[in-house]
């Protein structure tokens, strides 16, 4: 997701220094006019955007291995768009502050499609002044930008949202599976549900039934979207938060169980809407 986000900033005329572990991303970034970083020793930027897989990678990037915090000039604003445990984000915020830096946790919703189209939703946690500084840049990459509250609040909102998304996707897929068993035309069923009380984001934007929506991963053999691996990671974060605050979420826990089984069955790298295939079987 970092590549299309960076490309939108380049298109707006900003000078961008970039890095990615994926060679194809490097080629596309440089072709679009970005400057490639071979390391982080001489980074001289005003704002850092990072899109990392999770909390462990964030700690390695900022503190343990690349040690980016120690290499940035004072007052640099870091906008981290990864999804992690809220307490990990809070810890990094405090470490950044102690080193004279500014830090926002700004996880996103919308997937690769949203990143490419500039329609992401940003859920930002951190100081209000830093949010105001980042807002013009976020508006180039997203359609809806929310200041969720103080440090870690963006992560808290994100794991609540993705837990709901997982439950929503499973429910939508179960409806299609039942419709198939009843002999219904999936396109007709989708059209009617989208106009009825069952309407939801997965039906209208990310339809899990193959062939109904060209832009959805389901129409590309469930490739190139938000993987089962990542959904399971986010559900794991939700489970951890539940335990920490002693909450009980029956549907969230069941969604974690269902996606864990799908992961174990060998579908870790398929889009999370691929859960439809196991429900149909």
User: Annotated catalytic sites, by residue?
Assistant: 158
Nearest Cα to Cα of residue 78 among 35, 45, 117, 34: 45
Half-sphere exposure of 154 (CA within 13 A, CB side): 30
The whole-angstrom separation of Cα 142 and Cα 113 is 11
The whole-angstrom separation of Cα 202 and Cα 209 is 10
Q: Which residue has the tokens 């830090």?
A: 103
Specify whether the CB–CB gap between 129 and 148 falls below 8 A. Answer: no
Burial of 222 (0-12, 13-18, 19+ CB in 10 A): buried
């Amino acid at each position: 997701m970092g590549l299309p986000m960076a490309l939108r900033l380049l298109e707006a005329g900003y000078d961008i220094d970039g890095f990615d572990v994926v060679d194809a991303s490097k080629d596309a970034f440089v072709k679009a006019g970005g400057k490639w970083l071979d390391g982080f020793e001489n980074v001289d930027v005003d704002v850092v955007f990072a899109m990392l897989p999770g909390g462990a990678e964030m700690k390695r990037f900022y503190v343990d291995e690349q040690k980016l915090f120690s290499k940035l000039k004072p007052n640099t604003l870091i906008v981290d768009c990864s999804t992690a445990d809220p307490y990990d984000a809070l810890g990094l915020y405090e470490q950044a502050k102690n080193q004279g830096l500014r830090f926002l946790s700004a996880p996103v919703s919308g997937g690769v499609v949203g990143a490419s189209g500039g329609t992401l939703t940003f859920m930002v946690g951190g100081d209000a002044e830093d949010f105001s500084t980042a807002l013009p840049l976020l508006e180039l990459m997203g359609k809806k930008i929310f200041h969720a509250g103080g440090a870690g609040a963006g992560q808290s909102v994100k794991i609540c949202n993705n837990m709901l998304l997982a439950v929503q996707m499973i429910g939508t897929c179960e409806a299609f599976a039942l419709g198939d068993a009843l002999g219904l035309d999936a396109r007709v069923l989708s059209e009617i549900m989208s106009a009825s009380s069952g309407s939801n984001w997965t039906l209208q934007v990310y339809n899990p039934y193959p062939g109904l929506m060209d832009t959805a991963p389901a129409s590309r053999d469930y490739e190139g979207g938000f993987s089962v691996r990542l959904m399971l990671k986010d559900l794991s974060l939700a489970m951890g938060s539940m335990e920490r605050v002693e909450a009980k979420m029956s549907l969230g826990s069941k969604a974690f169980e269902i996606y864990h089984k799908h992961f174990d069955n060998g579908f870790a790298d398929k889009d999370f809407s691929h859960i439809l295939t196991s429900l149909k079987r």
